[in-house]
Structure 1
């Protein structure tokens, strides 16, 4: 089954840029650093646990685990010293810029890393290995997600893949045809955190599913009738 029909034309169209947007219930890792470690101490809340060190085999050292920040239903987090920060609806780069601007009142030349820790997508339906997949890079395409699920089975519809997405607290959906290459320039080529991808079964699979149970019942009934008839004729 051929994918990406018309790739020659689609490849030269304007590509879609992608920058993840922070949403409600995102779990964020935010770490502040600067040339002065003492200056950043109040902005990094960490607990220490025992872990292994790669320098010396078997050696144990204390390793920090930094606090994560949950975006509430108003799009806010509570950050040390800075207080309430509204990050929901901002792109990752915009959120970094805002945090750096606020930190400059306390730190010279602050450096901030921000990651969405619970970034995942779910793939369901007619794929070989459906499931939810954690994404470490915060950037994944629809073909990559389908590949992680083992690709479509021969019964999956390539021309009508459903993507369910939450946008500003509302569920939205769109259908994508991966047999045609122009989908690589659509807003659904890149998936966002917690997207659900559903591959619809084709008519062959749906007909088999509908007929299968009925055939089982019919065959069982025929077997019972034949057995009854056989017992009755033997008694004659």
Structure 2
């Protein structure tokens, strides 16, 4: 009788341990899914995105090209760059490669051949284009000036699959594109408490984002990324606990299994 009772104890421990593990491992879906409170409909209409002109800031890399009917007259104005090849054809990296063009220095100044130094910080690409067109008009007949941004760097840190700094393409970049560049968020990430650090156009701020709430979709200033934004994703404490608990539970289960086997063999 005592032997039967003793052999039943390890079995009860195993069942109890399995129940506890399953309870701890369960995570509410509302903490894992994006935008839980969206209406249950096929299409959800969102407000139109208001186009905003990007402002030139220090560290930006600008692609500036001059054209005119007389190509020989244009040549001195264009920056001469040499093409470089990446061994092996290039690869995806967590660090943004250096971009070619005119880099805005810490004082907000660039230096263009013939024209010389000029302050561009705080201007839009359209304003810079207009200014450059006026400056080269005495030298070029019917000049055409093209100004584009070569960089849109975003840094993603914390609980993501591939943290790093990424140079994203396109004039508009959303928080989803930034997170996708970092490999998206694992289930262990706090989707409801993400920190966005922003230093743009002379203003610095830290804002908390909740990716589980639809309100982010209606907030253009937060949903749309700005150059040099930093996203920091925190780890859920329960995830760390589950990892530690899972290791301990595995060891306890192994010990209980050995004890159970011992009782079985001694019957």
TM value normalised by structure 2: 0.64
Distance in 1 separating the partners of 2:44 and 2:230: 25
Paired residue secondary structure (2:157): strand
Greater share of residues in helix? 2
- Structure 1 pair 178/99, CA: closer, same or farther in 2 (3 Å)? farther
1:108 is the counterpart of 2:141: yes
Alignment match, 1:64: none
Q: Give the conservation status (yes or no) of the 8 Å contact 1:125–1:198.
A: yes
Distance in 1 separating the partners of 2:182 and 2:229: 14
| Deviations 1:205-224, CA, capped at 9 Å, x for gaps | 35458x67xx7xxx9xxxxx
Report the number of matched residues. 202
Q: Which runs of 5+ in 2 are unaligned?
A: 1-31, 86-99, 252-267
Q: Give the conservation status (yes or no) of the 8 Å contact 1:18–1:190.
A: no
Report the alpha carbon displacement of residue 194 of structure 1 after superposing the two structures with TM: 1.8
Paired residue secondary structure (2:75): helix
Q: Which has the larger radius of gyration?
A: 2
Report the alpha carbon displacement of residue 83 of structure 1 after superposing the two structures with TM: 2.4
- Structure 1 pair 200/83, CA: closer, same or farther in 2 (3 Å)? same
Greater share of residues in strand? 1
Q: For 1:201, which of 235, 258, 262 is the aligned residue?
A: 235
Alignment match, 1:84: 117
Q: For 2:77, which of 35, 38, 43 is the aligned residue?
A: 43
Report the alpha carbon displacement of residue 50 of structure 1 after superposing the two structures with TM: 9.1
Report the alpha carbon displacement of residue 44 of structure 1 after superposing the two structures with TM: 0.7
Q: Give the conservation status (yes or no) of the 8 Å contact 2:58–2:104.
A: yes
Report the alpha carbon displacement of residue 47 of structure 1 after superposing the two structures with TM: 4.5
Q: Give the conservation status (yes or no) of the 8 Å contact 1:16–1:187.
A: no
Q: Give the conservation status (yes or no) of the 8 Å contact 2:63–2:148.
A: yes
Alignment match, 1:134: 167
| Deviations 1:180-207, CA, capped at 9 Å, x for gaps | 2232333122212221111111231354
TM value normalised by structure 1: 0.71
Paired residue secondary structure (1:159): strand
Q: Give the conservation status (yes or no) of the 8 Å contact 1:20–1:139.
A: no
Distance in 1 separating the partners of 2:70 and 2:83: 24
Alignment match, 2:157: 124
Q: For 1:31, which of 62, 65, 80 is the aligned residue?
A: 65
Distance in 2 separating the partners of 1:78 and 1:179: 46
Q: For 2:127, which of 74, 94, 98 is the aligned residue?
A: 94
| Deviations 1:123-147, CA, capped at 9 Å, x for gaps | 1112222222122324311111111
Alignment of 1:106-185 (within 5 A): 106-168=139-201, 171-184=204-217, 185=219
Distance in 2 separating the partners of 1:207 and 1:49: 51
Could you say what the CA RMSD is over the residues aligned between the two structures, in angstroms? 3.3
Q: Which runs of 5+ in 1 are unaligned?
A: 52-66, 220-236
